[in-house]
Amino acid sequence: MAKRSIETLVGLFVLLGLVALLFVALKAANLSSFGSQDSYTLSARFDNIGGLKARAPVRAAGVVVGRVTAISLDPKTFQGVVTLSIERPFQFPKDSSAKILTAGLLGDQYVGLEAGGEVDNLAPGAVVKQTQSAVVLENLIGQFLFNKAADAGAGVDAGKKP
């Protein structure tokens, strides 16, 4: 009888470990909720989306208000078109802006929405007009190094006499 109760406890412990592993996997994949919330879609065009991925959060004032549902390339303008699914309770004014931001120094990227001051709200399917593309760290480092090299070259040229 004691052996059977120990086997039952070990089985429950293993089952609890599997449930915890499933929970961690869903959190890592941004799939923490199985149900679909009542939502509406918006889209935004960016010159550079950086490392933004589908299912990335959409945040307003740090609060998750939706998810990125799709990312595509417009073949005419060569801009990245990001489709956002916003939860229905959150309505944003027509002059709201969208930015691609990074969580931390090297963290995941997300879309940040900033509400504007317009009285009318964005309708489902509307396009967010004011956007700011992702800041790519490699581009910033390249610009910094290029500027330093240009400054060093200008200093050498300034010391020469004609």
pLDDT tens digits, residue range 32-49?
555 556 889 999 999 988
Q: What is the mean pLDDT of residues 122-129?
A: 90
pLDDT at 139 over 90: no
Could you tell me the pLDDT band of residue 84, with boundaries at 50, 70 and 90? very high
Reported as a pLDDT band with limits 50, 70 and 90, residue 31 is low
Query: Which residues contact residue 9 at a Cβ distance below 8 angstroms, ignoring those fewer than 6 apart?
Result: none
56 pLDDT exceeds 60?
yes
- Supply 112's token pair: 């940040």
| Residue 95 vs residues 13, 111, 124, 126, 131: alpha-carbon distances, Å | 53, 16, 14, 11, 11
- What is the pLDDT, as a whole number, of residue 44? 93
Please check the confidence at residue 97 and state whether its pLDDT lies above 70. Answer: yes
**SS3 call for 44:** strand
- For residue 37, what pLDDT is reported? 66
Judged against a pLDDT cut of 90, whether residue 82 lies above it is answered with yes
Q: What pLDDT shows up at residue 149?
A: 79
pLDDT band (50, 70, 90) for residue 65:
very high
Query: Three-state SS for 143?
Result: helix
Entry pTM: 0.67
H helix and E strand count, the chain = 2, 8
Neighbours of 114 (CB within 10 A): 15
Q: What is the pLDDT of residue 4?
A: 84
**Residue 33 or residue 143, greater confidence:** 143
